[in-house]
Structure 1
Amino acid sequence: MKYVPTLIAGILAAGVIGTAAISDSHADKATLSAVKARQSLMSLQAFNIGLLGGMAKGDIEYNAEAATAAATNLAALAKFDQSRMWPPGSDNAALGDDVTEALPAIWAADSKIGDASMALVESTTAMQAAAGEGLDALRGAIGPVGKACGGCHEDYRKADD
């Protein structure tokens, strides 16, 4: 009977350790889910930019209705609340390059990610207004969108090797 308190203490300790391990794995799942969500958002942005860029280059025939729809989607995606998609520790240093290309610099105190996000919102809103107004208007509006995307990717995404 003198071993019962030790046995109970051991079971309780194992329960606490097991609960902490489950909690940690849940956090990992939440972080990975956030990464997948933001990558999905970026894929949707790329899909719409692809159509607009193809039209601007002349690779795809200009269609005002399709251009307006793609630009409207792009503007909505730029305004989408991404705050839960970027938890600390969801960068490539923490998770590996095979999971994400997001650099730790996004979370740095001197990060200009907010400015980059605003540039994307402003440029996609202007694109939304211009896209259906003709090919020249589309071509004039796509440059700032590309600059906003590139400005963020250059500073906050791992460069392709």
Structure 2
Amino acid sequence: MVTKLTLAAAICLALPVMAHAEEQQDPNIKARIALMDLYAYNIGVLGGMAQGRMPYDAELAASAATSLYHLARSGSARMWPEGTDNFSVEGTRALPAIWDNMADFAARAAALRDATETMMNAAGTDLASLQAAIGPLGAACGGCHEAYRQPQ
């Protein structure tokens, strides 16, 4: 029979092991996962408005688009050192093709920066402007993911 004390002891013993496993993940991978989560969060707001799943709110749209603009200029290139692909380490979906064609990867990052600037200039204007900018933004994200991210 498992008592509350036994269960508590088991949890306390497991926590350091779980924390140690998380500490072992490459900080570059942790950072880029966090970056992608922030992209997804803000694109979710804009996409929700563009698709009518949430009401258009100019202030919220402008905020999400401005966040994307700054995220795309955050100096994330340092988060992609060689040897952090999904064939070399666990915990990432980054394909080795990134490092095989770094020039194309960098060009796609530049396209994302351009698309976030367009979105930042459009999002708070009106719904039609946001809707016009969401396609190129999605294409910039999706084009890179199709080429350089392992499918789930």
Residue among 125, 137, 140 paired with 2:132: 140
Worse-matched range after superposition: 40-49 or 79-88: 79-88
Partner Cα distance (1:44, 1:102) in 2:
17
Normalising by structure 1, we get a TM-score of 0.77
Q: Return the letter of the residue paired with 1:141.
A: A
Q: Is the 8 A contact 1:105 1:111 kept in 2?
A: no
Query: What's the Cα RMSD here?
Result: 1.5
Equivalent residue, structure 1, for 2:144? 152
**Percentage of matched positions with identical amino acids:** 48
**1:55 — aligned with what?**
49
Distance 1:141 1:111 in 2: 25
Q: Report matched runs for 1:107-126 at 5 Å.
A: 107-109=99-101, 111-126=103-118
Asked whether the 8 Å contact 1:64–1:134 carries over to 2, the reply is: yes
- In structure 2, how many angstroms separate the alpha carbons of the residues matched to 1:95 and 1:138? 38
Q: Name the counterpart of 2:75.
A: 81
Deviation at 1:41, TM superposition (A): 0.5
Aligned amino acid, residue 142 of structure 1 = I
Q: Is the radius of gyration larger for structure 1 or structure 2?
A: 1
| Long gaps (5+) in structure 2 | 1-22
CA distance in 2, matches of 1:126, 1:110: 24
Q: Which has the higher helix share?
A: 1
Q: Separation in 2 of the partners of 1:56 and 1:155?
A: 25
The 1:110–1:64 alpha-carbon spacing in structure 2 relative to 1, beyond 3 Å, is: closer
SS at match of 2:26: helix
Question: 1:61 aligns to what SS in structure 2?
Answer: coil
Alignment length (residue pairs)? 130
Deviation at 1:111, TM superposition (A): 4.7
**Corresponding residue of 2:63:** 69
Q: Is the 8 A contact 1:101 1:157 kept in 2?
A: yes
The DSSP-based 3-state class of the residue aligned with 2:92 is: coil
Residue type matched to 1:80 in 2?
S
